[in-house]
Amino acid sequence: MTEIKVFEGITSVAFSQKLTSGSAYCEILDRIGKAGINLDMISADLAVNDTFCIGFTVDDEDLPRLLPLIKDKDISTPVINCGNVKFIIRSQSMINTPGFAARVFSELKNAGCVPILITTGVDEISMLVSDSDSADVGKAMAEMFE
């Protein structure tokens, strides 16, 4: 059985820092947690040219409280994208079915959608898409898993 959950009003945040500047991102994540803001879809890129990039999502309603917490001289100006939709696809089939994720991403392509952010787990794919793409993605996922 495959379960699809949809969450609206999601903001993505991404920034980078030089590895030589210490662990500013750890301090920022700690401040966010202490403020009671829930992060989701945390994603980190491999370091390239001594630069570490991290991204995550929060509820749109948490953005006013988040903004002062992510100011830091050791990170790049954060890239913030509000008003998105998160789709979570959970299926035990992911565990032992090669190509499961490939099918999902092919359907996204067929729907004309490029995800903003993707995270995965053992039995789950989370995709952040723009609000304007969400109806097409929802239809494609519903048809795929009928």
Assess whether 70 and 101 both reside in one domain: no
Contacts of 20 (CB under 8 A, 6+ apart): 50
Which pairing describes strands 79-91 and 117-121: parallel, antiparallel, or unpaired? unpaired
Residue 22 domain boundaries? 12-81
Domain boundary among 55, 81, 107: 81
Number of domains in the chain: 2
Q: What is the pLDDT of residue 21?
A: 60
Summary mean pLDDT of the chain:
91
Domain boundary among 42, 66, 81: 81
Sign of CA dihedral 18, 48, 28, 8: positive
pLDDT at 20 over 80: no
pTM over cut 0.75: yes
